[in-house]
Amino acid sequence: MKNYYMKENTNKLRCYYNLHKHCLSVQHMTPKGWRVKEHVKEIYLKNVTFKVYEAGRQRVLKEKRKGVHAYVIGEEYGSIKMKGYTKIRYNPYLCGYFYDDDLNPVTVASYCHINNKTILC
């Protein structure tokens, strides 16, 4: 039997907003790559990384069609009470990265709450 090695930490999840189901798609790493684990309305993550794949973004800009190329990656965490949160956004036509209200790049966060299209850190 062939031995498979995980490419990343197995407790990491990768989330994106699913336009067809109008909810979050949550992926986990398998030996064959990222696979959808579940669909949820909201999720809490810790040790968060915001990732934009530039090739996918360029395809969106060229074709003027939406395609999944931006993810919030982290470890699932129980609900937390957040004080003084920052709203994080992503628009491929405006910036090639996730950003805050002042258009400053956001690449990591300790904790994050995603509720449909709203990202709070």
Over the stretch 33-85, which tens digit does the pLDDT of each residue have?
999 999 999 999 999 999 999 999 999 999 999 999 999 999 998 877 777 88
Query: What per-residue confidence (pLDDT) applies to 84?
Result: 82
Query: What per-residue confidence (pLDDT) applies to 10?
Result: 57
In tens, the pLDDT along 6-46 reads 344 458 999 999 999 999 999 999 999 999 999 999 999 99
3-state secondary structure of 2: coil
d(CA 39, CA 58) in angstroms, rounded, equals: 27
Going from N- to C-terminal start, the domains of the chain cover 12-120
Q: What is the DSSP string of 74-107?
A: EEE------SS--EEB--TTT-SS-B-TT--B--
pTM: 0.85
Query: What per-residue confidence (pLDDT) applies to 112?
Result: 93
In tens, the pLDDT along 87-116 reads 999 999 999 999 999 999 999 999 999 998
